[in-house]
C-alpha cells in the first residue's frame, strides 16, 4: 500500500486535518458527506503518480467546526482559501457526492484554481428525474447499504462497512451527519442557484461519473450537470450495475478512466 499520513496544518485561518500520500502532481480529493472512508485501492493506484491531498471537512474528525460556514457555498469558499494558502492552483480535483458538489461550487468561484475536475455521483443539482435521497431521515447504516448496488460484488464495501460499528465509528458517522445536515438540510443536498452559476464556468475539462443504479443521487443528475456546464468540455461516464460508489463498485474501470483523464 502507498504510504499516507494525517497531519494538522494551520491554513485558511484554522487548523485543518489533512490526509496526504503518494508522489507526483497534486490531486485534491473532497470526501463524501459521511467523511473520509479510509485509504482504498483507488487511492493507492492514483498515489503512484499523484500526491493526494485530502482535507477533512471542518467539524469532522480532527478538523474543528467553523461556525461561519453555514452552507456548501461557504465551505467551497473556505476550500478555495485553502488552495490559495497552500499555493496549489491550478490543481486537479476529484469530489465524491457532496464533495463533488463542493468542487462544483469552487469552480463557480474561480475555475482557474483547477486544471481538471472529476465529479463522482455529485449532489448539488436536483435531478430532473427521480430525487436525491433524504439521507438525514434514515440511519447511517441504511444510507450505506443503499449506496452500493451489489454488496456481494463489492468486497471493499464489505471490508469497510461490514460487521458492527465500533462506538468510535458510530460517533464519527453521527458527527458527519450532524454537520452536513446543518449545511445541506433545505433543500436536501442541492442548490437551485448552482446550475445557473455553472454556466459561467469555462475552460475547465470535467469528467462526470455515475452509477446507473445510484439510489442516493438519481443518475439523471449527470445530464443536468452536463447541461449546466455547457461552456466547458464535459465527459459523462455511466456504469451499469453500479450504485453511488463507482470508485469501489467498478474500481478497475474507475481507476483507468480517472488516470487517463488526468494524464
Domains defined along the chain, listed by start: 4-262 (3.40.50.1820)
pLDDT for res 64: 97
Q: Is the peptide bond before 3 cis (omega within 30 degrees of 0)?
A: no
Q: Tens of pLDDT along 193-246?
A: 999 999 999 999 999 999 999 999 999 999 999 999 999 999 999 999 999 999
Instruction: Give the HSE-up count for residue 183: Cα atoms under 13 Å, Cβ half-sphere.
Output: 29
> What pLDDT does residue 159 have?
82
Residue 42 vs residues 46, 178, 253: alpha-carbon distances, Å = 6, 28, 10
d(CA 30, CA 100): 7
Task: Using alpha carbons, select from 177, 170, 155 the residue that is nearest to residue 40.
Answer: 155
Write the pLDDT tens digit of every residue in 31-80. 999 999 889 999 999 999 999 999 999 999 999 999 999 999 999 999 99
pLDDT confidence band for 247 (50 / 70 / 90): very high
164 pLDDT more than 80:
no
Amino acid at each position: 500500500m502507498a504510504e499516507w499520513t494525517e497531519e494538522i496544518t494551520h491554513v485558511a485561518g484554522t487548523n485543518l486535518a489533512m490526509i496526504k500520500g503518494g508522489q507526483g502532481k497534486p490531486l485534491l480529493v473532497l470526501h463524501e458527506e459521511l467523511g473520509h472512508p479510509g485509504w482504498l485501492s483507488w487511492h493507492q493506484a492514483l498515489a503512484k503518480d499523484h500526491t493526494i491531498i485530502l482535507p477533512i471537512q471542518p467539524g469532522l474528525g480532527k478538523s474543528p467546526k467553523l461556525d461561519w460556514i453555514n452552507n456548501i457555498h461557504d465551505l467551497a469558499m473556505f476550500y478555495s482559501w485553502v488552495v490559495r494558502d497552500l499555493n496549489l492552483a491550478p490543481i486537479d480535483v476529484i469530489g465524491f457526492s457532496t464533495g463533488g458538489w463542493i468542487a462544483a461550487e469552487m469552480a463557480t468561484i474561480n475555475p482557474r484554481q483547477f486544471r481538471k475536475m472529476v465529479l463522482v455521483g455529485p449532489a448539488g443539482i436536483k435531478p430532473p428525474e427521480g430525487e436525491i435521497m433524504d439521507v438525514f431521515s434514515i440511519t447511517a447504516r441504511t444510507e450505506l447499504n443503499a449506496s452500493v448496488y451489489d454488496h456481494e460484488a463489492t468486497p471493499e464495501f464489505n471490508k469497510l462497512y461490514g460487521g458492527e460499528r465500533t462506538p468510535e465509528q458510530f460517533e464519527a458517522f453521527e458527527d458527519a451527519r450532524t454537520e452536513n445536515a446543518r449545511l445541506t438540510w433545505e433543500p436536501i443536498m442541492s442548490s437551485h442557484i448552482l446550475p445557473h452559476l455553472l454556466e459561467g464556468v469555462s475552460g475547465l475539462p470535467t469528467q462526470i461519473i455515475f452509477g446507473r443504479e445510484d439510489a442516493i443521487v438519481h443518475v439523471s443528475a449527470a445530464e443536468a450537470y452536463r447541461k449546466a456546464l455547457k461552456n466547458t468540455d464535459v465527459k459523462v461516464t455511466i456504469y451499469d450495475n453500479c450504485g453511488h460508489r463507482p470508485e469501489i463498485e467498478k474500481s478497475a474501470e474507475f481507476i483507468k478512466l480517472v488516470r487517463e483523464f488526468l494524464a
